[in-house]
A and B are shown apart, each in its own frame.
Chain A
Amino acid sequence: MEQLTHIGLNHYLTISAFLLGFGLFAVMTRKNAIVILMGVELILNAANINFLAFSKYNGDMAGVMFSLFVIVLAAAEAAIALAIVINIFKLFRSVDVSSIDTLKE
């Protein structure tokens, strides 16, 4: 009970583990490319929570700075990935990743 009520590092790591597991599950099982991107965002959020948790309990700023860069790169990744998905939709009229299996038109 003491471990449950006293919020420590393990609580944050548990939330992060759940987000990572759900993200992996989404990437693994979904056919829609947009939902796969959502899974990737969940994984990035899990990594961010880990960075910030270790940074707080270690007392230095490295994790905080890296989580900031993770957010910046996630924004860039989402923009590029959406552009690619829209191109795929133009070509195949579908974002079903299991039906996209040709290299050339």
Chain B
Amino acid sequence: MSNQAYTIIFYLFAAITVFSAAFVVFSRNVIYSAFSLLFTFFGAAAIYVFLSADFIAVTQVVVYVGGILVLLLFGVMFTNSIMQTDLKTDVLNMVPGTILLVATLTGILYTFYSTHSWMPSTKQLQGSIVERIGFETMSGFVLPFEMASIVLLVALLGAAFLARFEKQGNKEQ
């Protein structure tokens, strides 16, 4: 791929990610926010491919789009009645929020662009890294890997416990 096409495609996905993220935040309709989040996640997955992390990109699509987004949509549908057409969300702290947004952005971007350029390593990640992820998981990161499995098991049990249907409470009422 030529360098120019690479740049154009990068900017395309960067624009998709940033603008859909902005729409998630500034849209008042919860359903619009949820569907715009879909584009943000896909754009982030494309950015991961640019960062030569193809396995992370696929994981992003499977876990975020297939799992978390469906869960969020389920939450949106569940916590609003079906006949309610305007799933609006109110805002508060608009001025402090805007100040925080602008201050964060200008602070971070000013620091990036005013200081001297980064010194990248001579050995950057190139190509597919799936095999290296497998080696790292079973060597250097085997303890976090096992801890993550325990955390997922506990989270599964906890979520099922928290969201269960309470028969006892209903009988008392």
Same complex origin of A and B: yes
Specify which of A25, A37, A55 lies most central, judged by the most chain B CB atoms within 10 Å of its CB.
A25
A56 to B127, CA, bound (A): 11
Q: Are A45 and B91 in contact (CB under 8 A)?
A: no
A8 to B48, CA, bound (A): 14
A93 to B3, CA, bound (A): 55
Q: A31-B92, A38-B24, A65-B141 are in contact. Are A75 and B68 (CB under 8 A)?
A: yes
Report A-chain residues with C-beta under 8 Å of the C-beta of B155.
75-77, 79-80
Proximity string of chain A (17-58) to chain B, C-beta cutoff 8 Å, 1 when within and 0 when not = 111111111101111111101110110010011001101111
Task: Write the nearest CB–CB distance from B33 to chain A, whole angstroms.
Answer: 6
Q: Which of A5, A6, A52, A84 contacts B51 (CB 8 A)?
A: A52
Q: Are B124 and A45 in contact (CB under 8 A)?
A: no
Is A83 interfacial (CB-CB < 8 Å)?
A: yes
Task: Write the nearest CB–CB distance from A47 to chain B, whole angstroms.
Answer: 11
Q: Are A42 and B89 in contact (CB under 8 A)?
A: no
Give chain B's interface residue range (CB within 8 Å of chain A): 35 or more
Q: A10-B112, A12-B51, A15-B18 are in contact. Are A80 and B7 (CB under 8 A)?
A: no
Is A78 interfacial (CB-CB < 8 Å)?
A: yes
Q: Are B100 and A35 in contact (CB under 8 A)?
A: no
Q: Are B159 and A80 in contact (CB under 8 A)?
A: yes
Task: Write the nearest CB–CB distance from B85 to chain A, whole angstroms.
Answer: 16
Q: Are B120 and A42 in contact (CB under 8 A)?
A: no
Q: Are A71 and B60 in contact (CB under 8 A)?
A: yes
Chain A residues near B (Cβ < 8 Å): 5-15, 17-26, 28-35, 37-39, 41-42, 45, 48-49, 52-53, 55-59, 61, 64-65, 67-69, 71-80, 82-87, 89, 95-96, 98
Mind listing 28 A-B residue pairs with CB under 8 Å? A8-B118, A8-B120, A10-B117, A11-B14, A12-B47, A15-B14, A17-B105, A21-B105, A22-B21, A23-B21, A24-B100, A29-B91, A31-B91, A34-B79, A39-B25, A42-B21, A48-B56, A56-B51, A58-B120, A59-B122, A61-B129, A71-B60, A72-B148, A72-B151, A73-B151, A80-B158, A83-B163, A85-B75
Q: Which 4 A-B pairs have the closest CB atoms?
A: A76-B155, A83-B162, A32-B89, A29-B97
